Chain A
Amino acid sequence: MIEVDIAWRTRDFELQVAFTSDARNLALFGPSGSGKTSVLLAVAGLRRPERGRIAVAGQVLFDSAARIQLPASRRGLGVVFQDGRLFPHLRVRDNLLYGNGNAVQAGAPVAFDTAVELLGLTDLLARWPGSLSGGEARRVAIGRALLCRPRALLLDEPLVGLHREARSQLLQYLRRLHGEIGLPTLLVSHQPDEVRALAEDVVLLDDGRVAGRVRAEDFA
């Protein structure tokens, strides 16, 4: 369950987005510049809306009227960034374990070995992030978010910038994750096939507004 009703205005962009969803896997779909990554960052607590309210699984994370602004570090959400953002000075193993002992532990535990096996990371553990391919780095980023024991995963264009083979491979990994761990996800994407494969409910965004709402199976 996610509720979002937020707004902000900058010099050249105005965003006003409201939606609620009970779907386990929700997607925000729209062209680049539609504001979908901004909404994801607001849910993560890394971008502060001017006003509004955000609640996930019944917990209020942000409410401008009630002056609630939970810091990102206490929201218990695993974020997979578009640009990976692996820590360059830590080996893959230490990147994966970074959020492991944090104080929030909002969701069900995922065993390190399970995550490593599920995402095919066994042979990468001793490597430095700088030596990974795009697809490998993306998988490590997903594993790292998973292992901070989040109550939900936020995926920001997880497949963007990968070549075709790596893309379909990562898509399979993500589907396995859905099947075997079943963590709720919020997916941001501008690729219809990705949305069909990874979400049940779709919020369409355009130019900072909600432009429509579809079920993923009706999504063309």
Chain B
Amino acid sequence: MLSAAEISALAISLKVAVLCVAIALPFALALGLALSRLRFPGKSVLEALLNLPLVLPPVVTGYALLLLLGRNGALGAWLAGLGVQFAFHWSGAVLAAAVMSFPLLVISIRAGFDGVDRRLEAAAESLGAGPWRRFLSITLPLSLRSVAAGCVLAFARAFGEFGATISFVGSIPGETRTLSIAIWELLNQPGGEAGLGRLVWVALAVGVAASLGAALLGRRAQARSGEDD
């Protein structure tokens, strides 16, 4: 069985990953829709910026977060005045995970929106549906598989996040020591093999569960649309 410390690491990782997806999703939907449907100046710059966390070493992203949001950072000092602190706090782990997984979420959602037949949206408009109703009743349901896939990808990325997290929030047991960080700590600890083995199995189980969940969601979305491709 898992020790209390191991359960705590698993709980922190799950909490971070779930909150990360829940918080990032509305923004990713809005941005994905804007990128899919609108043309605006600076769009390619925005796309490049969006992908930055994918191409930067995660440790660098974490360090950038620390510079920006650390206690002496440009934004961090101001936020500290309001009593909000991200660095070395579990909410910072959520933020780091969100930054790291946001591109995956947006790319997947955008691809889904790109794949929706615009003529169906026009038909909905001609039937009296305003923009919100068109989005909620046509665009979103027809891209549900991509949105679900994006959520699973983002969840997995957030659950396994290591580099940005450890440089931004460190490894505080019960606060910011996630499963990945706990595994890394055990790797560096003589005699940690037993705990290491258990945590690796836990990580594997969560990964497989997420992957299966994605497949099931996809099949349900497909069944609802009545297609058999």
Binding site for B on A (CB under 8 A): 44-46, 71-79, 81, 83, 85, 87-89, 91, 98-99, 102-104, 128-131, 144-145, 148
The answer to whether B128 and A102 have CB atoms under 8 Å apart is: yes
Q: Does B97 contact A (CB under 8 A)?
A: no
**Contact indicator B126/A45 (Cβ below 8 Å):** yes
Interface membership of B59, Cβ < 8 A: no
CA A129 to CA B226, docked complex, whole Å: 8
Asked if B225 lies at the interface with its beta carbon under 8 angstroms from chain A, I say yes
Bound CA–CA A109/B227 (angstroms): 33
Chain A residues with CB below 8 A from B126, complex form: 44-46, 72-73, 75, 77-79, 145
Is B56 interfacial (CB-CB < 8 Å)? Answer: no
Q: CB distance B226 to A89 under 8 Å?
A: yes
The yes or no answer to B77 lying at the interface (CB within 8 A) is: no
| A148 pairs with B226, CB closer than 8 A | no
| Contact present for A144 and B127 (CB under 8 Å) | yes
> A98 touching B227 by the CB < 8 A rule?
no
Report yes or no: B128 in contact with A99, Cβ–Cβ below 8 A: yes
A130 nearest CB across to chain B (Å):
5
A residues less than 8 Å from B39 (CB atoms): none
Q: Name which of A46, A88, A91, A148 has the most chain B CB atoms within 10 A of its CB.
A: A88
In the complex, chain B residues whose CB is within 8 Å of the CB of A72: 122, 125-126
What is the CA–CA distance of A84 and B142 in the complex, to the nearest angstrom?
Answer: 17
Task: Give A47's nearest chain B residue, CB to CB.
Answer: B122
Sample (6) of A-B pairs whose CB atoms are under 8 Å apart: A72-B125, A76-B128, A83-B119, A89-B141, A89-B224, A145-B126
Assembly CA distance A3 to B126 (angstroms): 19
Contact A98:B127 (CB < 8 A) given known A87-B120, A88-B142, A89-B141: yes
User: Please, which residues of chain B bring their CB within 8 A of the CB of A83?
Assistant: 119
Which chain B residues in 189-229 approach chain A with CB under 8 Å? 224-227
Contact A88 B129, beta carbon cutoff 8 Å: no
Shortest beta-carbon distance from A157 to chain B in Å: 15
How would residues 111 to 138 of chain B score, 1 for a CB under 8 Å from any chain A CB and 0 otherwise?
0000001011011111111100000011
Does the CB pair A73–B120 fall under 8 Å?
A: no
A81 to B117, CA, bound (A): 14
Task: Report, nearest first, the 6 A-B pairs whose CB atoms are least far apart.
Answer: A102-B128, A128-B226, A99-B127, A85-B123, A79-B126, A89-B225
* Cα distance, A18 to B151, chains bound together (Å): 52
* Chain A positions within 8 Å of B117 at CB level: 85
Given A46-B122, A72-B126, A87-B124, output 16 extra A-B contacts at Cβ < 8 Å: A44-B126, A45-B126, A71-B130, A73-B127, A74-B128, A79-B123, A85-B120, A87-B123, A88-B225, A99-B128, A102-B127, A102-B129, A130-B227, A131-B226, A144-B127, A148-B128
Take A89-B226, A131-B226 as given contacts and tell me if A73 and B122 are in contact as well, using a CB distance cutoff of 8 Å.
no
Inter-subunit contact A89/B127 (CB<8 Å): no
**Known contacts A46-B122, A89-B141; A145/B127 CB under 8 A:** yes
Query: Taking the nearest CB of chain A, how far is it from the CB of B15, in angstroms?
Result: 33
A91 to B226, CA, bound (A): 9
Residues of chain B with a CB closer than 8 A to A73's CB: 125-130
A88 near B227: Cβ-Cβ < 8 Å: yes
Residues of the A chain whose Cβ atoms lie less than 8 Å from the Cβ of B125: 45-46, 71-73
* B160-193 interface code vs A (CB 8 A; 1 in, 0 out): 0000000000000000000000000000000000
**A-contact 0/1 string along B20-40, CB 8 Å cutoff:** 000000000000000000000
Closest to A41 in B: B122
- Chain A residues with Cβ below 8 Å from B137 are 98
| Closest beta carbon of chain A to B213's beta carbon, Å | 21
Bound CA–CA A71/B142 (angstroms): 23
- Given the complex, which residues of B lie within 8 Å of A104, measured CB to CB? 128
Name, among A74, A81, A83, A85, the residue most crowded by chain B CB atoms within 10 Å (CB to CB): A85
Residue of B nearest to A130 (CB): B226
